[in-house]
Amino acid sequence: MGLGKASLKNRALLLLWLLEVALVMAAVIGAAWLRFMNDPEGHEIFAENLAVRALLVAMFVTTAMAALGLYEVHVRLNRFELALRLMVSFALGGIGLMVLYYLIPWAYIGRGVIVIAMVLGMLGIALLRYCVTHVFRGGLFKRRVLVLGAGRNADLINTRMRRDSDRRAFTLIGFVPIHGQDAAVASALCIPAPGGLSELVHQLQISEVVVAPDERRGGLPMEEMLTCVQRGVAMTDLSTFFEREAGIVTTNLVDPSWLVFSGGFDHSTSRCAIKRLFDVMSASALLLVTWPLMLLVALCIRLESPGPILYQQTRIGEGGRPFELVKFRSMRVDAEGDGVARWAQQGDDRTTRVGKFIRLTRLDELPQLFNILRGEMSVVGPRPERPQFVDMLSREIRYYAVRHCVKPGLTGWAQLRYPYGASVRDAEEKLKFDLFYVKNHGLVFDLIILLQTVEVVLFQRGSR
């Protein structure tokens, strides 16, 4: 999600969240009415501070929903998957509320009310999601987008954003070929503009034109584009469009000037201080919760095979500086006995039985919480790579070194959006998401990534 850019889909998700918060609060209030239907005096006493207590229930439930990816526009779910994640979200929210009630007794709303509220809230949100899906399936709330250009660059919209779920915020009307440039888009998708671009935009009621030429020099109808802008039609270059709609920075399209002038890359003192505070608090909280698991993992590794429990490996961090990353050992001691660095592969025979489990559940990463507390890593950021891979990828992939302008992370935007990478091509695809993160990182974005990492762990996406 392009949190650094104000877009229709972000506003739609915010509206959906607000509606669901209100719906869960209404469910709590309705549940209280049902519970005390025959006891008006009891209901009057119970109703004191009910709005605040209902808001707490709504916040816990919707936070759990965010952790399971239910506010992620790119997640595609069928009815069964949606129902399953809703049930898990309400269960997690209920567990969180039990902890809250233990710590803050006045917030308690009673077992009868909470059970009724959970059932009503779950049914209400399921119905709301069903209605929203059918409303947004049409083009009523979508921006009407016309692409200026029909060459290789313009065709990337078809190849990278071909699914309906990739186009939830816009309707692609067609492509306008540019005179003198070869067309790569299918002719059925091309729209001629004999009366000029501005006239075509007016006829088709276009709200945004995406400028996607293969060659910019002398090929763009600047006067026509200026007329469109004066009429309130947005003009967006292709790189910015991909950044906003797909959450990536397309390395094969952008040039250094776009990276320089398009904004982002916040390294202000306040941002650095907030990020460090977020890292320390998050890592400390995770350590408090997971230390029993860490002891159990250490014991299992010790019992299964000889060798060290922890494994240290040199990785490249912020500013290209090396540091020693700490993990639970998941492979045989002689996994790289020849000294040659290798990416982990699917079904890697170097992995131990305990190692397969802890890699699948990401438990092998937990010791990196100490790297975070030492200031070598962040909770959220691009995953750190080994020096051998960094040297190779920096030669092979444009802008690869840009990802080192922030601290590497325990989790990251690329980990949520792309499966485990074990090749140069995978690294190039993941870099598109890493560049988006380093350009648009912020506290809210970090929090959403951290919450959605719960989904990755629970549904075991991207592990090897």
pLDDT digits (tens, 9 = 90+) for 386-401: 999 999 999 999 999 9
State the pLDDT at residue 78: 67
The residue type found at 427 is A
Same domain, 105 and 211: no
| pLDDT tens per residue across span 57-99 | 999 999 988 888 788 765 556 677 788 889 988 998 999 999 9
Q: How many CB atoms lie within 10 A of CB 311?
A: 19
**Residue 139 pLDDT greater than 60, yes or no:** no
3-state secondary structure of 169: coil
Total domain count for the chain? Answer: 3
Are 110 and 159 contained in the same domain?
no
Whether pTM > 0.75 for this model: the answer is: no
Is 191 inside a domain boundary? Answer: yes
Are 294 and 372 contained in the same domain? yes
Per-residue tokens: 108: 């308690």
Contact between residue 145 and residue 171 where contact means Cβ atoms under 8 Å apart: yes
Contacts of 196 (CB under 8 A, 6+ apart): 221, 224
Does one domain contain both 382 and 420? yes
For residue 176, is pLDDT > 80? yes
**Model confidence at 281, in pLDDT bands (50, 70, 90)?**
very high
Asked whether residue 253 is assigned to any structural domain, the reply reads no
d(CA 140, CA 326): 51
176 DSSP β-pair partners: 148
- Tokens standing for residue 168: 């939830």
- Give the residue from 433, 427, 418, 435 showing the smallest Cα distance to 397: 427
Residue 1: pLDDT band with limits 50, 70, 90: very low
- 148: containing domain: 143-247
Residue 86 lies in a domain: yes
At residue 337 the predicted structure's pLDDT band, cuts being 50, 70 and 90, is low
Q: Which two tokens stand for residue 350?
A: 């170097």
Q: Are residues 324 and 358 in the same domain?
A: yes
Which residue, 91, 92, 205, is CA-closest to 143?
205
